[in-house]
Amino acid sequence: MADPINLNRFRKAKARKQAREDADRNSVLYGLPKAKKTRARAEAERIARLHEGGRREDGSESDETGD
């Protein structure tokens, strides 16, 4: 016969695991210094400008070939 499990212990362990995951996620999101956040934002904007600058300006908005 299987050993009985304590549901309260299981529930608390699950809550601790979730809290630990939330803390790790928040440390990544909010744990950066202002200078690094600013640098990352500027880099993302630079990449977006380069990507947007690479678009062709042929006047057609659709993917149709116009045959």
Q: How many domains does the chain have?
A: 1
**1 within a domain of the structure (yes/no):** no
For 1-16, what is the mean pLDDT?
Answer: 91
Any domain includes 61:
no
Per-residue pLDDT band at 27 (split at 50, 70, 90): confident
SS3 65: coil
The answer to whether position 23 is within a domain reads yes
User: Which range is least confidently modeled, 21-25, 31-35, 38-42, 60-64?
Assistant: 60-64
Average pLDDT, the chain: 85
Q: In this structure, is residue 42 part of a structural domain?
A: yes
pLDDT at 59 over 70: no
> Is 28 a member of any domain?
yes
Residue ranges making up the domain that contains 46: 7-52
Evaluate whether residue 20 is within a structural domain. yes
User: Is residue 35, in this structure, part of any structural domain at all?
Assistant: yes
Alpha-carbon distance 16 to 10, whole Å? 10
For residue 54, the number of C-alpha atoms closer than 13 Å in the C-beta half-sphere is: 6
Whole-prediction pTM = 0.43
